[in-house]
Structure 1
Amino acid sequence: MLTAMLSDRHYMRDVGPERPFDLIKWLMAAFVALFLLQHVAEKWFQHLEHYSWFGLVADNALHVRKLWTLFTYNFLQNTAGYSGGVFTLICNLLGLYFCGLDLRDRLGQARLAWLYAGFIAAGAIAWCAVYPLGVDWPLFTPFASFTGLFVLFCCHRADEKMTFLVFFILPATMKPKYFCWCWVALDLFGFLFYEMGGRVSPLWNGHAANLAAALAAFACYRVSRRADFSGGFSNTDIELPRWLRRQKKSSTRPPAYKVNVANRGDLRAEVDRILDKINSEGFGALTDEERRLLDDARDLLSRR
């Protein structure tokens, strides 16, 4: 019985056969290939037409009807910077590898593909919306989709301590939600003090698009927590993640209770709850009573 309970948990199942199509690996390969093509076109042939054809400018997208730029801007990179676009490429590849692979295994490949496209669309809509503020320069960067993936990853792993390499050099260990706040704060700063005034930010391009993708990620996280995507939405109210709201400390301890181990239904439900707690908080978070119950369930299984 305990074996069946373990196999019910998605994180205890055996890994199936390798996927014939891996969205994250294909995206990483596409970004590298397009980056090399950009360098060849610009450095060898002095061609820059791809920025006007595939970069996002609100006037071109809406009036000239270059609607494809609402999507293709995500796959261009600015190769004129001090790093020749290498820094942007590395950031994007690392985001896809660490955040994308985790979200793919957690949400499924098809759902992640829709979310990724949604982050791109959210960034494009926001960039067109700020055009009246004087933001008339083109957008060609994958940072909007990167921000969406990163924020969604941080929502799912908000309180798990992780080590990040700041600027790929300095190791920093903290909870992902704090890294998320820092990233969003930088985008908010760039948007308020530069893009709202019609000026190019010295940090990076596309703060408005990044903020829109971050908001979309927050919304998707809350909806996915409250409803089953395959079975319809019973309650679509959008709330902030739990770690964004102040937690009220309870002065009362949960009442002690006993589980009837002779009742298989009660035992299964309680072991399921404990296994979920181990997955989300770790084995060290178990109480003595919960540890004892797992031992009893194991002994009961061995006797049968």
Structure 2
Amino acid sequence: MRPYYDYSDYERKYSLAMGGRLTPGVKWLLIANVGVFVVQYFSRHSGLFEMWFALTPVLVVKKFMVWQIFTYMFLHGSFFHIFINMFVLYMFGGEVERAMRTKGFLRFYFITGIVAGLTGFIFAYNHSMVGASGAIFAVLAAFATFYPNTIVLFMFIFPMKAKHMVLLIGGIALLATLSGGRGNIAHFAHLGGLAAGILYLHYGRLKSRFHFSGSDYFRRRKEEREWQIRQEVDRLLDKVHREGMGSLTKKEQKFLKEASRRFRSGE
């Protein structure tokens, strides 16, 4: 999955940058995951590294190896496994981190990853789990929540809105879980991470409606205004995608210029 923009360079300036310059949280997650994978690769013959740090629910319960609920997210089953997860994190994580800020993003990432791991206690009690996929699915859910109308290429081929992509991958994960899946793919963890991400964001919205101070009020007003701007940018980019740049009025073109300046300057 990667972002897809069918616009001229002029219109690309108004798109919300995916990938691009690394945000702090995404950068350190990439470094940590790659570093752990290197250690895991060179210690693979002994099997001790996976035994201690992969998530094996029966060991968590009987041997009290509770750290595995956290550490399993940094291990991966193959080069392709880590490449796909880190690629998606790089492409979509930055915008989610910008929306949630670094501390909020990392909290979201680890909580949803842990919840995804807990599904293993139901579906894979006697088996080991590795990978950041649960947290990555939660990041995709957050991206679709913040930027629902952004066009992405699903499977590098099919252009669709982010919100439709998340519905599709959620449906695939649900069907695979119900059918027992295939191979060594923990579809239930993908589904758990996706659900955890949606519930986390939904709970945050409900909480913000009833608990806020005076300073929170002004912060929320600013965030709501930024949200409205991003929604309008998405709407205008969709219009350009369908009808071309000439379809925009002077007022709409001016709005996009101002929005582009605002996003670049971080106002």
Out of 143, 146, 156, the position equivalent to 2:133 is: 143
Query: How many angstroms apart in 2 are the aligned matches of 1:70 and 1:274?
Result: 37
Out of 80, 87, 98, the position equivalent to 1:87 is: 80
Partner SS, residue 282 of structure 1: helix
Distance change (3 Å), C-alpha of 1:93 and 1:68: same
Distance change (3 Å), C-alpha of 1:225 and 1:281: farther
Distance change (3 Å), C-alpha of 1:278 and 1:76: same
- Pairing of 1:134-283 with structure 2 (within 5 A): 135-164=125-154, 166=155, 170-194=156-180, 201-202=181-182, 204-228=184-208, 232=212, 275=229, 278-282=232-236
Residue 48 of structure 1 corresponds to 47
Distance change (3 Å), C-alpha of 1:106 and 1:276: closer
Larger helix share, 1 or 2: 2
- Give 5+ residue unaligned stretches, structure 2: 1-13, 15-20, 214-224, 240-247, 256-267
Percent identical pairs in the alignment equals 16
Partner deviation per Cα, 1:70-110 (whole Å, 9 max, x = no partner):
111111111xxxxxx12111111112111110111111001
Runs of 4+ in 1 over 4 A off after TM superposition: 229-233, 271-277, 288-292
Task: Report the TM-score, using the length of structure 1 for normalisation.
Answer: 0.62
Equivalent AA in structure 2 for residue 184 of structure 1: G
Q: Say if 1:92 and 1:142, in contact at 8 Å, map to a contact too.
A: yes
Partner SS, residue 138 of structure 1: coil
Once the two structures are TM-superposed, the CA of residue 115 in structure 1 deviates from its matched residue by 0.3
Once the two structures are TM-superposed, the CA of residue 209 in structure 1 deviates from its matched residue by 1.9
Coordinate RMSD, CA, aligned: 3.6
Once the two structures are TM-superposed, the CA of residue 58 in structure 1 deviates from its matched residue by 1.4
Distance change (3 Å), C-alpha of 1:187 and 1:224: same
Q: Say if 1:274 and 1:290, in contact at 8 Å, map to a contact too.
A: no
Query: How many angstroms apart in 2 are the aligned matches of 1:41 and 1:183?
Result: 33
Once the two structures are TM-superposed, the CA of residue 63 in structure 1 deviates from its matched residue by 1.9
Partner deviation per Cα, 1:116-146 (whole Å, 9 max, x = no partner):
1111111122211335xxx421111211111
Residue 34 of structure 1 corresponds to 36
Distance change (3 Å), C-alpha of 1:231 and 1:274: closer
Query: How many angstroms apart in 2 are the aligned matches of 1:73 and 1:275?
Result: 38
Distance change (3 Å), C-alpha of 1:207 and 1:33: same
Which structure has more RCO (C-alpha within 8 Å, separation ≥ 6)? 2
Q: Say if 1:159 and 1:175, in contact at 8 Å, map to a contact too.
A: yes
Distance change (3 Å), C-alpha of 1:54 and 1:273: closer
Once the two structures are TM-superposed, the CA of residue 223 in structure 1 deviates from its matched residue by 3.3
Query: How many angstroms apart in 1 are the aligned matches of 2:150 and 2:86?
Result: 22
- Give 5+ residue unaligned stretches, structure 1: 1-10, 12-17, 79-84, 195-200, 234-270, 296-304
Count of aligned residue pairs for this structure pair: 219
Task: Report the TM-score, using the length of structure 2 for normalisation.
Answer: 0.70
- Pairing of 1:118-129 with structure 2 (within 5 A): 118-129=111-122
